[in-house]
C-alpha cells in the first residue's frame, strides 16, 4: 500500500510516517522543508511543496499517482509570515479531496482538532472545521481523527512548553491552571491512523482521540515535573492579563516567522478546555486510550530532557539579548562616531578611514541585530555575528593589543558574547 502523508515531518506526522513504515507501507511525505526529513527518514519519498499554494485539483493529481490513501497531518496554529490558515486548512484540502476523487484514491484520513467548529470565532478551529467539512461531504472512505493534547517524545510547540513550565525553578507557573484537558499519546494517534489506512476502522466516522477523564492543566504540569525527575513544586496561577500580554507578543513574533506555542490561539484553546468524547473510540477499539501517566511512563526521560526543558524558556531571552546588544552597540557607535574613531586615530589610523570603519561597523551591528529577529534570516545573522566578533578580536589584537589589559575589558567582554552566539546557533532549530 502506498500512502501520501501531508506534514509528514511534524510532531504527529512523523509518528504516523514511522508507524506506516513499520506496517510495511510505502510512504511519501509532503512538506515545505524536507532536507532534514530526507536525512532522518531516507525510506520515505519526500516531496518538497507548499500545501497552502496547491489550491486546485491539478496541483495534486501528479502526487496522487500510485497512491492508495492520503493522510492529512498538516496544520498551523495561527496566521503569520509563514502560514495562511484558510489556504492550508480549507482551500488546499478542498482541492485535494477533489483530486483524490479524480485519481481514484478513496481512503482519506484527516487529522483535525478537538474544538474544531464552524461557529468558532478562532480562525484555527473554524478553518479546521471547514477542511473537515470538505472531507466529510465527499464520497471518499474518510476518517476524521480529533486528538486531544498530544504528548510525544519529540519536544516542540505545546509539548516543549509543558516541559519548560514543569521544569521552572522552585514553582510551576501556569496561566489557566484549572482549565480541563484530555491528553493522548502520539503513538496512539499513529495507531488510529494505521487502522484507518488499513480499513480497520469504520468508514465515514469522526473520532475524538482522548483519555477517559479530563484533568486540570496544573495536574498535567505536575505530572511532567515528576516525569522529569524534579523535586515537587506547587502550581502558581499566573493572572490572565499576563497571558494575554504574552499571547499578543507571541502573535507579533509570528509575523516575524517564529512559531510560539504561547500565541493567543493556543491560549484561547486552553481556556475553552481541550475536552472530547472518548466513547466512540472505546466502542470501536473495545478499550479506552491510555491515560497521561501511562503515556509518560512509555517515554524514557534522561538528563537531555531536563537540559531541554530548562533551556527552552531561556531561548527567547538569548535571542532578545543578542538583538538588543548588537542594536545598541551600533546605535551608540553612530551617536559617538568621534569618540569611537579616536581609538583608531590614536594608533596611527587616518581620521577619515577611522570614521568610515566606525560607521561601517555600526551599520553592520544594527543590520545583524535586526536580522536575527526575522526567523528566515536568523541563522545567517548569527553566523555574521560570529564572524564579526572573531574579526573584531583579531583586528584589535593586531592594532591595539593593550586593550586586552584595559580595566574595562572591551576585548575580554566580547568572548562571552561570542559564546552566546554559538549557544544561539546550537538551540536555534525548532524541530
Res 185: pLDDT: 96
Instruction: Tell me the C-alpha to C-alpha distance, in Å, between residue 180 and each of 114, 149, 188, 191.
Output: 13, 11, 20, 25
Res 134: pLDDT: 96
CB 13 within 8 A of CB 6: yes
CB 72 within 8 A of CB 109: yes
Res 43: pLDDT: 95
Alpha helices in 286-375 (DSSP H): 292-297, 303-335, 337-345, 351-371
Which three three-digit cell numbers place residue 307?
537540559
Give 324's contacts (C-beta < 8 A, 6+ positions apart): 369
Pairwise CA distance, residues 339 & 341, whole Å: 5
* Ranges of residues in the chain whose predicted pLDDT is under 70: 81
Give the single-character DSSP code of 180. E
Pairwise CA distance, residues 424 & 323, whole Å: 11
Pairwise CA distance, residues 195 & 181, whole Å: 25
Pairwise CA distance, residues 193 & 188, whole Å: 9
CB 109 within 8 A of CB 12: no
Amino acid at each position: 500500500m502506498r500512502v501520501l502523508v501531508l506534514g509528514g515531518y511534524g510532531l504527529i506526522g512523523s509518528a504516523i510516517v514511522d508507524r506506516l513504515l513499520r506496517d510495511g507501507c510505502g510512504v511519501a511525505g509532503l512538506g515545505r522543508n524536507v532536507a532534514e526529513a530526507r536525512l532522518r527518514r531516507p525510506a520515505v519519498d519526500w516531496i518538497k511543496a507548499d500545501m497552502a499554494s496547491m489550491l486546485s485539483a491539478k496541483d495534486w493529481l501528479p502526487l496522487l499517482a500510485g497512491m492508495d490513501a492520503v493522510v492529512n497531518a498538516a496544520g498551523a496554529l495561527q496566521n503569520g509570515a509563514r502560514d495562511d490558515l484558510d489556504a492550508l486548512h480549507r482551500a488546499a484540502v478542498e482541492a485535494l479531496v477533489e483530486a483524490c476523487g479524480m485519481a481514484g484514491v478513496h481512503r482519506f484520513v484527516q487529522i483535525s482538532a478537538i474544538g474544531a467548529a464552524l461557529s468558532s470565532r478562532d480562525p484555527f478551529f473554524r478553518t479546521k472545521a471547514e477542511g473537515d467539512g470538505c472531507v466529510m461531504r465527499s464520497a471518499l472512505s474518510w476518517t476524521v481523527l480529533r486528538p486531544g493534547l498530544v504528548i510525544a517524545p519529540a519536544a516542540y510547540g505545546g509539548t516543549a512548553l509543558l516541559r519548560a513550565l514543569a521544569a521552572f525553578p522552585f514553582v510551576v507557573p501556569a496561566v489557566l491552571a484549572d482549565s480541563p484537558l484530555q491528553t493522548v499519546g502520539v503513538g496512539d494517534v499513529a495507531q488510529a491512523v494505521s487502522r484507518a489506512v488499513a480499513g480497520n476502522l469504520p468508514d465515514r466516522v469522526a473520532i475524538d482521540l482522548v483519555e477517559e477523564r479530563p484533568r486540570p492543566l496544573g495536574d498535567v504540569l505536575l505530572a511532567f515535573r515528576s516525569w522529569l525527575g524534579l523535586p515537587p513544586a506547587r502550581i502558581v496561577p499566573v493572572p490572565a492579563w499576563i497571558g494575554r500580554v504574552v499571547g499578543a507578543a507571541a502573535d507579533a513574533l509570528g509575523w516575524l516567522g517564529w512559531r510560539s506555542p504561547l500565541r493567543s490561539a493556543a491560549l484561547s484553546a486552553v481556556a475553552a478546555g481541550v475536552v472530547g468524547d472518548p466513547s466512540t473510540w472505546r466502542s470501536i477499539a473495545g478499550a479506552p486510550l491510555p491515560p497521561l501517566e501511562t503515556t509518560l511512563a512509555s517515554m524514557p526521560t534522561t538528563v537531555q530532557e531536563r537540559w531541554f526543558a530548562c533551556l527552552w524558556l531561556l531561548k527567547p531571552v538569548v535571542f532578545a539579548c543578542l538583538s538588543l546588544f548588537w542594536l545598541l552597540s551600533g546605535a551608540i557607535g553612530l551617536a559617538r562616531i568621534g569618540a569611537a574613531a579616536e581609538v583608531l586615530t590614536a594608533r596611527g589610523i587616518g581620521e577619515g578611514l577611522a570614521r568610515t570603519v566606525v560607521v561601517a561597523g555600526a551599520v553592520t551591528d544594527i543590520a545583524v541585530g535586526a536580522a536575527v529577529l526575522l526567523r528566515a534570516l536568523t541563522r545567517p545573522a548569527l553566523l555574521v555575528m560570529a564572524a564579526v566578533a572573531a574579526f573584531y578580536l583579531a583586528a584589535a589584537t593586531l592594532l591595539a593589543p593593550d586593550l586586552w589589559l584595559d580595566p574595562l575589558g572591551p576585548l575580554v567582554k566580547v568572548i562571552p558574547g561570542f559564546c552566546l552566539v554559538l549557544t544561539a546557533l546550537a538551540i536555534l532549530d525548532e524541530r
